[in-house]
Chains A and B, each alone.
Chain A
Amino acid sequence: MIKEHGKILVIGGGISGITTALEASEIGQDVVLVEKSPTLGGRVSGFHQYFPKLCPPTCGLEINYRRLRANPHIQIHTNSEVLSLSGDAGNFKVKIRKNPTFVNEKCVACDHCTAVCPSERSNDFNEGMNKTKAIFLPNNMAYPPRYVVDRPACEPGCSKCVEACKYGAIDLDMQVEEIEIQVASVVIATGWKPYDAKKLKNMGFSSVPNVINNIMMERISSVSGPTKGKILRPSDQKPVESIAFVQCAGSRDENHLPYCSSICCLGSLKHANYVMEQNPDAKIYIFYIDIRTPGKYEDFVVKVQAKPNVNMIKGKVAKITAGENGGVLVEAENILNLEKVRLDVDMVVLATGMEPNLKGQDRIAGIELDENGFVPMELQQQGIFSTGVAKWPADVNSSIQDSTGAALKAIQTSIGN
């Protein structure tokens, strides 16, 4: 029966897209997975640990990559974009643009190329907090495990990497390729990005040193990050002894993101744990409106809150300014006792919310998004499903749950097509 199914197109190769593709394909369903960056893995590949278990996301990714490696039913296009989508449920025509990575499948990841590369680029995997060579492996877990050239970062006329590669894997003249495929159903799993904290007035992001966002905090804490996992403040690499977290930074706010992203409370509690693990005496302040840890996540807030150096303050932060010697001044009001709070801390983390990647973009022709940039659920009738944060704000666990279901919905549409 499966053999007669049309293909499923999954757009986005983060944990939601990977899950959708795998769950559908493991009953023999053919899937085409398109990811715009050079590697699969998406946001979770940059996380240090998951809440509430504090286990490494790379562990689950490893299992999923093992499933992918052994799976003959998934065709993967990384560094590729969906240009257009036309047709109806059961019969979509999809144009895919494969952007050149300048490295072909002969790459063995031997790393000889980076030794000779004279140019550097800002490392987006580490939120720009360090650099890689112009030819680089996106990260330790990159899938496919293949290097990429950031062509604009190259020195003009340089071809040292080409000469250094014994395997003929680098082709600096690699061209854009466009392909057209036919699929029966579509799952959009394009994920999210952190809300741009520069838009938040008085929060000091990018103007006050040592004010970072929650995604940077993940990278600073991660062994594959710019500090190899040591939590040091960016301006002077001093170990962090006091830290403040600003919850709902740009969330639940009609001027920014009107919704709650549902992960930032748990994220900051997890970050507090990262800090305490390295420095049990570190002072931790969390400014919040409501602590949102539904279901069994409640155990996590109870556990973290019980730590003697964790201070939960119900209140809104009014202003963040530079203090002395790299410190950060936080001014807030405790709305339970109406006292003004003034803190001088080593680092501030703005717990920014999730903005869907599709917001402000018109990447997939014909798909209209809702006012917040999420994919409207009504498109289901047309054989176009969404999952993960392309659909609504969600944590990893519920995104995976949703993506497993999305696989079945897409299969239903592809039956007999």
Chain B
Amino acid sequence: MDSKTGVYICSGCDIDQAMDVEELAKVASKECKVPVSKTHPVLCSEDGVKLLKEDREKEGVNRFMIAACSQRFHETTFDMGEENIVVRAPIREYVAWTQKTRDESGEVDEDTQLAGEEYIQMYTAKLKKHGIPQPFEQDTSKKLLVIGGGVSGMTAATEAANAGYSVDLVEKKGHLGGFCLDEHKLIPSRAPFSEPEINYVSAIVSTVEENKLIKVHTSSFVNSISGQPGEFQVKLNQQGKIEKFKCGAVIMATGSQPYDTAKLSHLGINYDNVVSSAEFEQMAKSENILRKDGKPALNVGFIQCAGSRTPDHLPYCSGTCCMDSLKQAAYIREQNPEAKAHIIYRDIRTPGLYENFYRSRQDDPGVFLTQGDVVGVKETTDKKIAVEVDNTLFGEPVNFEMDLLVLAVGQVPSTLSGESALNLEYRQGPDLPELKYGYPDSHFICFPYETRRTGIYAVGSVRQPMDINDAKLDATGAAMKAIQSMELTDQGKTVHPRVGDQTFPEFALSRCTSCKRCTEECPFGVLEEDEKGTPFPNAARCRSCGVCMGSCPVQIISFKDSSPTIFKEMMTSIEMPDEFDEKPRILIFACENDALPVFDMAAMNRLKINTNVRIMPMRCLGGLNLIYVTDALSYGYDGIMFMGCAYGDDYQCHFVNGSQLANTRLSKVQETIGRLNLEPERVRQYAISMNDYERLPKIIDDFVEELDDFGPNPFKGM
């Protein structure tokens, strides 16, 4: 179908108080040569939308450039249907609300008007190069693979099945149940949260085994997973026999192990009457809370944080041991009312309603709680255990003598066991990338299921330290995300954070130099490569961030709505003011997640933004291709600002390391800029967060001021 472009300029929201919109319309028809160019007093009104739709029906306009408010407003108002492309030029925010308005005599400011005209040119140029997004179609499976048959895995399987999805549940051991199956009792899961609960894990096992949608594979492990979401190819090893099947998404629920007590000799683990919390659980289960010599243990001590919250062992808190020891104290009291429990702790961590469980134990006169630091554990001649505690509420070091001492140890994720649970056949490795301490957790507060391998979710105590109650909730959430991934993949759309996006990277492979940068830098392991090193994309793994596009030194990667060509067309669409005009031009590339909305915030607060900057949106700074820098500088732009999120340990990039990659690439281009006899400071990257709108005008002014010292870009007009 022939494309027909219409430019529609809104004069509402004070746009006409800053610019002559009829002149803008003339620029669209004369300079941009579009066949349809119109203005309207309120484009978002019923009447305005009617105008757009009439032009679509009667004039055959199928590409719409809406120069009005930002994309963050009226997205659906200006939706012109799937076959038609809409590009928004936010002249309300970038010009009308942040630049000089008409003077007292009603004259528009020259620079403001120019800003408006240049934005019309830039965004019309962008529109002309847009393609129509196409869903990525494939023959998908909506079957879920769950690896790990403990409480997390069983819950995920059951919850998905209860929503109508088929599940293959794989367990390494000969039976389902996992770690919690063997627990004597469980911590309370519901109000009033005051007493241990009867172990219900075997009931969960039965529910799973009876569920017709769940196929259980015990004594099995995953030999390999290849392919991509919607069409993962799974090879299962069941006692040497290989079974192959296809699945749509994967949940990894391989759990954790207790910390290895052998490493805790300083806490007396080698003494007869010192046991780990896991061992004590079994003693209680068999109602044998005894010393090694068979005598009843009447004084049982617990050392909390045994090997936890210390740089020598586990630096983190497992968040479960306080509740576990309180539970075990209850066993002691229940099985022998004469026996006493004595818990030595640093901080009792019973958050939320668990406080009731703590209070119930505090109310028991046979449970003693002492805050302090254990400084020594010794065995006495009669094989009792002497524990010396400092920094107690008693003011001075105290000694306790115990019949039996329990070391409350934390959790270690199964990822550290040395065996891969997923065995992904991905160029970037067989496992989910780990965040910290072996946990393949999401890095995001707002998005706990943000995974680095699309369609594959870690859940339960392998994702982060957690107890059984959290694990059940976590597994339900992960099942939701896995279902979502399968459904969106089936529709050929991208998952979080660009949910529903239908643009995928396209490779002009005939020009590929097999340099492997894209395959190495893709944060989601989308790209495999053949023996020559030519990239092979797996579109369903893709999150459409554009990092590959930024990495390619020969610019062969593009998206329908974002590409090196589009950026070049945008930046060269304006007539560069010459060096005597005293109108420098600065390009700002702003990440759509964080930096771009900051300009809207500044506009809403009517902060004045330097009139010489021109803003271009990017999906992520990771899409920064060095050609943009050389293209812009050789066209005569005086400086370039790249605005994205902060990187480092607390990185905020939802595509993992986009802003960091941008920084690395820019450090490489600085030398090239120097060779052109240009000042490297003309190009700079800024970490901008949503909270920075008050600072934004000054950041830009400072940069422009610095450029002033360098004088105009000598490439202007060349």
B690 contacts A59, C-beta separation under 8 Å: yes
Q: Which of A83-91, A117-125, A332-340 contacts B (4 or more CB under 8 A)?
A: A332-340
Q: Please give, as numbers and ranges, the residues of chain A lying within 8 Å of B693 by CB-CB distance.
A: 140, 223
Residues of chain B contacted by A69 (CB below 8 angstroms): 72, 75-76
**A296 touching B355 in the complex, CB below 8 Å, given contacts A59-B594, A404-B481:** no
Q: Which of B12, B76, B351, B465 has the most CB of A within 10 A?
A: B351
Inter-subunit contact A394/B484 (CB<8 Å): no
Considering the complex, give the chain B residue whose CB is closest to the CB of A411.
Answer: B163
| Interface segment, one of A103-111, A150-158, A198-206, A232-240 | A103-111
Q: Is B441 interfacial (CB-CB < 8 Å)?
A: yes
Please determine whether B159 and A408 come into contact, CB atoms closer than 8 angstroms.
yes
In angstroms, how far is the closest chain A Cβ from the Cβ of B448?
5
Centre residue among B14, B44, B393, B445 by max chain A CB count within 10 A: B445
Query: Is the CB–CB distance between A106 and B45 below 8 Å?
Result: yes
List residues of B (291-312) whose CB comes within 8 Å of A's CBs: 309
Contact of A39 with B by CB under 8 A: no
Within 8 A of B (CB), among A59-74: 59-67, 69-70, 72
Return chain A residues, CB-CB under 8 Å to B691.
48-49, 56, 58, 222-223, 229
Within 8 A of B (CB), among A335-388: 335-338, 370, 374, 376-378
Given A260-B354, A295-B465, A335-B393, do A408 and B348 touch, yes or no (CB 8 Å)? no
A393 CA to B356 CA, complexed, in Å:
13
Which of A94-102, A176-184, A286-294, A320-328 binds B?
Answer: A286-294
Closest to B463 in A: A401
Using Cβ atoms and an 8 Å threshold, which residues of chain A touch B393?
A: 335-336
Please report which residues of chain B, range 349-389, place their CB below 8 angstroms from some CB of chain A when the two chains form the complex.
349-356, 359, 371
Asked if A290 and B191 make an inter-chain contact with CB atoms under 8 angstroms apart, the answer reads no
Contact of A295 among B159, B163, B319, B690 (CB under 8 A): B319
Identify the closest chain A residue to B470 (Cβ): A398
Residue numbers in A under 8 Å from B12 (CB-CB): 108, 110, 166-167
Q: What residues on A are CB-neighbors of B497 within 8 Å?
A: 63
Whether, in the assembled complex, A400 has its beta carbon less than 8 Å from a beta carbon of chain B, the answer is yes
Q: Are A55 and B354 in contact (CB under 8 A)?
A: no
Q: In the complex, which residues of chain A have a beta carbon less than 8 angstroms from the beta carbon of B44?
A: 108
CB–CB A63/B446 < 8 A = yes
Q: Give the CA-CA distance A290 to B345 in the complex, in Å.
A: 10
Q: Does A174 contact B (CB under 8 A)?
A: no
For A111, list chain B residues within 8 Å (CB). Answer: 604, 606
Write the nearest CB–CB distance from A173 to chain B, whole angstroms: 21
CA distance A69 to B465 in the complex (A): 35
Which chain B positions have C-beta within 8 A of A407?
Answer: 480
Chain A: residues with Cβ within 8 Å of the partner, total of 89
Chain B residues with Cβ below 8 Å from A394 are 352
With A56-B689, A407-B480 known to touch, is A397 a contact of B445 (CB < 8 Å)?
yes
B654 CB-CB contact with A under 8 Å: yes
Instruction: List B contacts of A50 (CB < 8 A).
Output: 445-446
Given A62-B597, A108-B42, A404-B481, do A294 and B487 touch, yes or no (CB 8 Å)? no
B174 at the interface (CB under 8 A from A): no
Q: Mark B430-453, 1 if CB is under 8 A from A, else 0.
A: 000000110101011111110000
Residues of B within 8 Å of A297, CB to CB, are: 317
B317 and A408 within 8 A (CB): no
A412 on the B face (CB < 8 A): yes
Asked if residues A296 and B45 are in contact (CB atoms below 8 Å), the reply is no
B157 at the interface (CB under 8 A from A): no
Q: Is residue A298 within 8 Å, beta carbon to beta carbon, of the partner chain?
A: yes
On whether the beta carbons of B316 and A260 are closer than 8 Å, the reply is: no
The 0/1 profile, CB within 8 Å of B marked 1, for residues 383-417 of chain A is 00000000011101110111111111101100100
Using A296-B316, A404-B477 as known contacts, say yes or no to A262 and B75 having CB atoms under 8 A apart: no
Task: Decide yes or no whether B164 CB sits under 8 A from chain A.
Answer: yes
Is A228 an interface residue when CB atoms closer than 8 A count as contact? yes
Q: Are A59 and B441 in contact (CB under 8 A)?
A: no
Residue of A56, A109, A378, A393 touching B351 (CB-CB under 8 A):
A393
Decide yes or no: A377 and B191 within 8 Å by CB, A223-B693, A335-B393, A405-B476 being known contacts.
yes
Q: Decide yes or no: A292 and B42 within 8 Å by CB, A394-B352, A404-B449, A405-B477 being known contacts.
A: no
Instruction: Give residues 273-304 of A contacting B (CB, 8 Å).
Output: 290-299, 302
B241 CB → nearest A CB, Å: 33
| A408 interface neighbour in B391, B477, B645, B692, Cβ under 8 Å | B477
A58 to B391, CA, bound (A): 42
Name the interface residues of A144-175: CB closer than 8 Å to any CB of B.
Answer: 145, 166-167
A70 in contact with B479 (CB, 8 Å): no
B601 located at the interface, meaning its Cβ lies under 8 Å from any Cβ of chain A in the complex: yes
What's the Cα separation between A11 and B477 when bound, in Å?
19
B418 on interface, CB distance cutoff 8 Å: no
Contact A109 B476 (CB under 8 A): no
A62 touches B465 (CB 8 A): no
Task: Indicate if the CB atoms of B191 and A370 lie closer than 8 Å.
Answer: yes
Cα distance A292–B358 in the bound complex, in angstroms: 14
Q: A1-43: contact bitstring with B at CB < 8 Å (1 yes, 0 no)?
A: 1100000000000010000000110111000000000000000
| Chain A 113-153 interface mask (CB, 8 Å, partner B; 1/0) | 00000000000000000000000010010000100000000
CB contact between A293 and one of B317, B443, B446 (< 8 Å): that residue: B317
Q: Is the CB of B163 within 8 A of A292?
A: no
B473 interface contact, C-beta 8 A: yes
Is there an interface contact between A53 and B650, defined as CB atoms closer than 8 Å? yes
In Å, the complex CA distance between A15 and B445 comes to 11
Docked-complex contact B689 and A262, CB < 8 angstroms: no
The answer to whether B45 and A262 touch across the interface, beta carbons within 8 angstroms, is: no
Q: How many angstroms between the C-alpha atoms of A70 and B502 in the bound complex? A: 13
Report how far A299 CA is from B319 CA in the complex, Å. Answer: 13
Which A residues are in CB contact (< 8 Å) with B14? 110
Chain B residues near A61: list those with CB within 8 A: 446
Shortest beta-carbon distance from A74 to chain B in Å: 12
Given contacts A109-B604, A397-B445, A404-B480, contact A292 B593 (CB under 8 A): no
* Chain A, Cβ-Cβ closest to B46: A106
Residue A252 at the chain B interface, CB threshold 8 Å: yes
- A20–chain B nearest beta-carbon distance, Å: 10
Knowing A337-B395, A397-B445 touch, does A409 contact B488 (C-beta < 8 A)?
A: no
Given contacts A62-B593, A402-B477, A407-B480, contact A108 B354 (CB under 8 A): no
Are A259 and B355 touching (Cβ within 8 A)? yes
A401 to B460, CA, bound (A): 11
Do A23 and B464 touch across chains, with their CB atoms under 8 A apart? no
Query: Which residues of the partner chain B approach A194 to less than 8 Å between Cβ atoms?
Result: none
**Separation of A8 and B231 alpha carbons in the complex (Å):** 30
Chain B residues with CB under 8 A of A185 = none
State A168–B14 Cα separation when bound (angstroms).
15
Question: Which residues of chain A come closer than 8 Å to B13, judged between CB atoms?
Answer: 108-110
Q: Are B481 and A401 in contact (CB under 8 A)?
A: no
A15 to B447, CA, bound (A): 11
Contact A298-B352, Cβ < 8 Å, known A55-B652, A401-B473, A408-B483: no
With A109-B604, A297-B317, A411-B480 given, name 16 new contacts (CB 8 A). A1-B164, A27-B488, A59-B652, A63-B447, A70-B500, A111-B606, A137-B604, A260-B355, A290-B349, A336-B393, A337-B395, A376-B191, A392-B352, A396-B445, A400-B447, A402-B473
* Cβ contacts A to B, 22 pairs, < 8 Å: A24-B480, A26-B484, A26-B488, A48-B691, A56-B691, A57-B445, A59-B446, A59-B652, A60-B446, A70-B75, A109-B73, A140-B601, A145-B73, A261-B352, A294-B318, A294-B319, A299-B436, A378-B190, A393-B352, A401-B474, A404-B477, A406-B476
Binding site for A on B (CB under 8 A): 12-14, 42, 44-45, 69, 72-73, 75-76, 159, 162-164, 190-191, 309, 315-319, 347-356, 359, 371, 391-393, 395, 436-437, 439, 441, 443-449, 464-466, 470, 473-481, 483-484, 487-488, 497, 499-500, 593-594, 597, 601, 604-606, 645-646, 650, 652, 654, 689-694
Interface residues of A (CB under 8 A from B): 1-2, 15, 23-24, 26-28, 48-50, 53-67, 69-70, 72, 106, 108-111, 137, 140, 145, 166-167, 222-223, 228-229, 252, 258-262, 290-299, 302, 314, 335-338, 370, 374, 376-378, 392-394, 396-398, 400-409, 411-412, 415
